[in-house]
Amino acid sequence: MDSVALLDALVRLRQRGKLSAKLFVAHLNHQLRGEDSDGDEAFVRSLATERALDYVTERIAVANIAREEKQNLEAIARRIRYEFLRRTAETVGAKSVCTAHTLDDQAETILMRLLRGVGAEGLAGVHEVRPLGQLVTLIRPLLAVTREEVAEHCEHYKLEFRHDRSNDSMEFTRNRIRQELLPLLKSFNPSVNLSLVRVAELLTEDENFLRQATIEALAEVRQGEGLSIKRLMTNPLAIRRRVLRQWLKETRGGLQRIEAVHLAAIERLLSAGKSGRVIELPGDWQVRRKSGVLELARKEISAVSTENTGEDADN
């Protein structure tokens, strides 16, 4: 429903001369729901054809990749979907990709991250505009629009759309938040979605400042591929934790499955005072303290170097 409403709105803006950009439609068939997934793909093709729009569709067996990588299905699907959108945009020469995330999606995301125990950066929610690649920008035009308003748009213009039955499954955390937690919270505050989003906006303003301070601090504490513990400890706790997150993100290629408990463990490693201490991270990564430096490496790589760690004090 959200994506159909967004496409319809963009087409209407172009018809009224308020949008000059050429529109493409992109759809990834995740092959997760058999005939339903194929039906979604056929629907998108028809939707684009009816509006005389060029379209690109692709099929990827997301579940197989998740099993091979032993990762969370939702996280893998999200990564592959954005990779597809970026790749498609670059192929057709598009500078922007628009997705139909709404204010309700934002509130759900904030609650999901809160339950996982993320820091203030994560609670800032998803951004309205962010880079999707070197040449492509991701834009979420409906982030200030409620799902109810989207439904009203579809009803007003008699728009047909497909319902993804996986959105009804209580196996997924987001669906439980949408169907169980948010209704309960609304019994305390009917405008809880707006309250969550307002908090996210305030946190975003703070994070913009702290992000720049983190970049500068990370550059100062780097020691080769690792971090100088002595220099890192001169920073306030708020900056120190952000430096650790940014370092993990750059070295691991992302923060998938990294939670507050992992950062707390690394914090304890900083004050351990001895070499050879190791923290296990998701995805077979390890953070190790060695000679006053924090090192991050794959477990199999670290295993070779930790055979004779001893308990020598840091230099």
CA neighbor of 260 nearest in space, from 69, 123, 130: 123
Is residue 126 within 8 Å of residue 201, measured between CB atoms?
no
- Interior CA angle at 167 toward 201 and 182, to 5°? 45
pLDDT band of residue 309 (cuts 50, 70, 90) is: very low
Contact (Cβ atoms closer than 8 angstroms) between residue 105 and residue 85: no
Q: Give CA–CA dist 269/197, Å, rounded.
A: 35
Q: State yes or no: pLDDT of 303 exceeds 50.
A: no
The predicted structure's pLDDT at residue 24: 97
Name which of 106, 107, 83, 90 is nearest 183 in CA terms: 107
Q: Looking at residues 254-262, what average pLDDT do you find?
A: 84
Give pLDDT, residue 40.
95
Please answer whether residues 265 and 279 qualify as being in contact, where contact means their C-beta atoms are separated by less than 8 angstroms.
yes
Q: How far is CA 273 from CA 22, 26, 243, in A?
A: 59, 53, 20
79-85: Cβ within 8 A, 24+ apart = 80/28, 80/30, 81/28, 81/30, 82/132, 82/138, 84/26, 84/28, 84/58, 84/60, 85/26, 85/28, 85/132, 85/138
Q: What is the pLDDT of residues 83-127, one digit of tens each?
A: 999 999 999 999 999 999 999 999 999 998 888 877 677 787 888
Per-residue pLDDT of 41-74, as tens digits, reads 999 999 999 999 999 999 999 999 999 988 888 8
Q: How far is Cα of residue 234 from the mean position of the Cα atoms in its chain?
A: 30
Residue 204 binned pLDDT confidence (cut-offs 50, 70, 90)? confident
User: What average pLDDT is seen over the chain?
Assistant: 89
Distance CA 174, CA 181 (A): 10
Cβ(109)–Cβ(121) under 8 Å?
no
Q: Is the pLDDT of residue 313 over 60?
A: no
pLDDT given at position 173: 85
User: Which of 4-13, 97-106, 198-207 has the lowest average pLDDT?
Assistant: 198-207
Domains by residue range for the chain, with CATH: 2-188 (3.40.50.620), 224-305 (3.30.465.60)
